[in-house]
């Protein structure tokens, strides 16, 4: 008989990613009638890359302002496979984003030939943090790099902020800029796994932003970025499109991926959670383009720090389950860490993060979102395959995976105000369970 273990996080107790011991398991027929959550390992879906977060300048700078001991604690609590959440993915911005200390680029104004390209600013905070994370993880972090805006002089509005578009005459130079970045990071000992074309290309933001229509993104990838990546010997670096919200991701993915010449360069579609929880749109993109991939590339709680809030963790859990059940292959949180203000952010777009570092008191706060993410990242291993589930329990959200080591990880979330009894069943065996109100549990089933 298999060994069934349970890990629990619950709002109304001190349990935070706490092992609850071994479950009593019976044959499925021996468990009383009632609502069942049945795991179906014969049904298989996507393979998961992993889980992680973004190495923004705001994060790296914040960690430089607390004691080395607290900084090390945060890195360990995220990236250590045993003590932490086991993060294996990361995201980094190509020059500045809103969670940088200011607008900046890697070249001097007007340098079309990119002769002045220099990432020395990243060597101050960001690159050392990535190296320390990789050392703690025991392997390279799978890194996605994304631009928020081309240099101001390459744009129609002459400003890195407030939208604007890339001027046609700079498409080649901007394409080469990505390759310069990738090579510079490789020289710094950080392999870049993939790039997205543009962060949030449909939003005019008060911070670093740049607008592309679906057709403009298609043409840029097909005629400039894709060929340039190949010419520069970087065909092994994956290109992601969209990198924005789920609400219109079907039409935006279709605009690029319906063109075979553009699609040949594209690994898949990146998406965010703002505006919409239309998880079915993620699944529809898979149905339309089953040979392409899907990756959740950004999500965070907006509106400043929410210390102690429980709805933030539930938002993370609900979104991760909803996307995983619709063919998503990995999860990238936004800022790994922010300071006590929810920044720094050079335009005041303050947000929350799973870990908040109080730089004045030299203390570190772990929000509910930290623990909710851990229910996935600690127990669903890179290379895990999603498997089927049969349930009609409206108050429970659930997803299930078979790990490369043969174990199963089943995550179940209860957002309701009432405890929810159910029977968890796998392979003719079952356990009677009750999930407390406002809680999440991971069940690890080992042969």
Give catalytic residue positions. Answer: 200, 298
Q: Are 252 and 242 in contact (CB under 8 A)?
A: yes
CB 338 within 8 A of CB 303: no
Q: Count other Cβ atoms within 10 Å, centred on residue 159.
A: 15
Separation CA 113–CA 174 (nearest Å): 10
User: Residue 386 and residue 41: Cα distance in Å, rounded?
Assistant: 9
Chain center to CA of 65? 25
Among candidates 145, 51, 59, 147, which has minimal Cα distance to 100?
59
CA 215 distance to own-chain centroid: 26
Helix (H, G, I), strand (E, B) or coil at 154: helix
Cα–Cα distances in angstroms (integers) from residue 54 to residues 29, 51, 199, 280, 400, in the given order: 47, 11, 13, 25, 26
Q: Which residues pair with 51 in a beta bridge?
A: 331
Cβ-in-10-Å burial (0-12, 13-18, 19+) of 182 comes to buried
Distance of CA 102 to the CA centre of its chain: 24
The phi, psi pair for 150, rounded to 5°, reads -65, 170
Which own/partner contact pairs does 220-224 have at CB distance under 8 Å and 24+ positions apart? 220/166, 220/171, 220/175, 221/197, 221/256, 221/262, 221/265, 221/266, 222/259, 222/261, 222/262, 222/265, 223/171, 224/171, 224/172, 224/174, 224/175
Answer whether 245's CB lies under 8 Å from 275's CB: yes
User: Cβ atoms within 10 A of the Cβ of 17, count?
Assistant: 19
Cα–Cα distance, 136 to 370 (Å, whole number):
18
* One-character DSSP codes across 376-420: HHTTS-TT-EEEEEEE--TTEEEEEEE-TTS-EEEEEEE-SSS-E
């Amino acid at each position: 008989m298999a060994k069934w273990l349970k890990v629990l996080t619950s709002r109304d107790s001190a349990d935070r990613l706490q092992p609850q011991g071994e479950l009593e398991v019976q044959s499925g027929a021996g468990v009383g009638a009632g609502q069942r959550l049945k795991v179906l390992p014969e049904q298989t879906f996507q393979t998961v890359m992993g889980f992680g977060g973004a190495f923004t300048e705001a994060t790296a700078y914040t960690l430089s302002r607390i004691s080395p001991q607290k900084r090390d604690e945060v890195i360990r609590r995220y990236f250590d496979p045993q003590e932490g959440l086991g993060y294996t993915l990361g995201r980094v911005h190509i020059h500045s984003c809103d969670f940088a200390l200011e607008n900046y680029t890697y070249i001097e104004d007007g340098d079309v030939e990119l002769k002045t390209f220099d990432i020395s600013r990243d060597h101050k905070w960001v690159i050392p943090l990535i190296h320390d994370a990789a050392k703690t993880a025991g392997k390279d972090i799978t890194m996605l790099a994304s631009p928020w805006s081309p240099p101001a002089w390459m744009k129609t509005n002459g400003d890195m902020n407030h939208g604007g578009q890339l001027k046609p005459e700079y498409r080649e130079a901007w394409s080469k800029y990505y390759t310069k970045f990738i090579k510079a990071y490789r020289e710094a000992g950080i392999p870049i796994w993939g790039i997205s074309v543009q962060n949030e290309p449909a939003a005019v933001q008060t911070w670093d932003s740049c607008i592309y229509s679906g057709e403009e993104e298609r043409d840029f990838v097909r005629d400039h970025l894709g060929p340039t990546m190949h010419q520069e010997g970087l065909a092994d670096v994956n290109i992601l499109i969209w990198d924005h919200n789920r609400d219109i991701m079907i039409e935006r993915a279709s605009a690029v991926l319906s063109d075979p010449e553009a699609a040949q360069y594209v690994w898949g579609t990146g998406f965010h959670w703002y505006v919409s929880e239309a998880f079915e749109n993620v699944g529809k993109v898979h149905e339309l383009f089953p040979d392409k991939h899907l990756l959740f590339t950004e999500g965070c709680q907006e509106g400043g720090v929410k210390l102690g809030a429980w709805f933030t963790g539930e938002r993370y859990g609900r979104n991760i389950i909803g996307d995983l059940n619709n063919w998503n292959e990995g999860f990238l949180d936004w800022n790994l860490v922010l300071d006590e203000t929810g920044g720094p952010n050079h335009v005041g777009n303050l947000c929350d993060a799973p870990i908040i570092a109080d730089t004045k008191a030299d203390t570190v706060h772990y929000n509910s979102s930290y623990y909710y993410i851990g229910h996935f990242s600690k127990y669903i291993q890179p290379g895990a395959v999603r498997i089927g589930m049969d349930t009609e329990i409206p108050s429970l959200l659930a997803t299930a995976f078979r790990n490369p080591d043969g174990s199963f990880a089943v995550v179940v979330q209860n957002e309701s105000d009432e405890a929810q009894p159910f029977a968890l069943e796998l392979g003719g065996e079952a356990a009677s369970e009750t999930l407390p109100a406002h809680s999440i549990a991971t069940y690890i089933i080992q042969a």
